[in-house]
Structure 1
Amino acid sequence: MTQSNAPREPAPEPPRVSEGGDACGARHVQDRVGRQYDETLGQSIHEESGAGAFRVLRPGEAHTLEYRADRLNVRLDEDGVITAIGCG
């Protein structure tokens, strides 16, 4: 078995979110994490974020995996409590 002593290229840097990279407005609604979700709260989150699209992700429900920078995802736990809000 031969080994090459040639230097390896470093791994690429992970993508960085720039200040302007919050296309879905998630940073404006992070204070809702930990609250019980209902439709009224969802509507206010969507409006305040300014997101182009909005969806709620509940455990066990199917959802598409394509990434959309302008879409706000609200993740809930089994009890309907918001666990995360982010773009995608």
Structure 2
Amino acid sequence: MRLKIAGPLVIGLVVAGCASMSSPPPRDPAPRPPTVSEGGDGCGAGPVQDRVGRHYGESLGESIRRESGAGAFRVMRPGEAHTLEYRGDRLNVRLDEDGVITDIGCG
């Protein structure tokens, strides 16, 4: 007799538990990263934008670093791992598979 009562009781508890579950509250979208503007960026990317489209070399990298005045500098090649934290004083130079600069920006 206990088995006849326990079965419906368990099913009832499971159904009640599922009914009380609700979806999580909606999240606010992540803020957009700052954009580079001529003279208004914290890493000095504006003055060196004319290097986009050129083949990257160590001497070009050094001139970009020097002219930008960036607090930190990194070259980002395809397939390499990079940290994702944003640093407004860091200048990122992105290259394509051929070593051509595709983007220069803060981050």
* Amino acid in the other structure paired with 2:81: A
User: Secondary structure, in 3 states, of the residue corresponding to 1:23?
Assistant: coil
- Structure 1 position 15, deviation (Å): 6.6
Query: Partner residue of 1:39?
Result: 58
Greater relative contact order (Cα < 8 A, sep 6+): 1
Q: Is the 8 A contact 2:94 2:101 kept in 1?
A: yes
Matched, 1:53 2:72: yes
- Aligned residues with identical type, % of pairs: 78
Query: Partner residue of 2:99?
Result: 80
CA–CA separation in structure 2 for the residues paired with 1:49 and 1:15: 19
CA–CA separation in structure 1 for the residues paired with 2:39 and 2:50: 20
Unaligned runs of 5+ in 2: 1-28
Find the structure with the greater CA-based Rg: 2
CA–CA separation in structure 1 for the residues paired with 2:73 and 2:55: 17
What TM-score do you get using the length of structure 2 for normalisation?
0.65
What TM-score do you get using the length of structure 1 for normalisation?
0.78
TM superposition outliers: structure 1 runs of 4+ over 6 Å: none
CA 1:19–1:77: 2 relative to 1, 3 Å: closer
- Structure 1 position 20, deviation (Å): 6.4
Unaligned runs of 5+ in 1: 1-10
CA–CA separation in structure 2 for the residues paired with 1:81 and 1:20: 24
Select the structure that is richer in helix.
2
Aligned length: 77
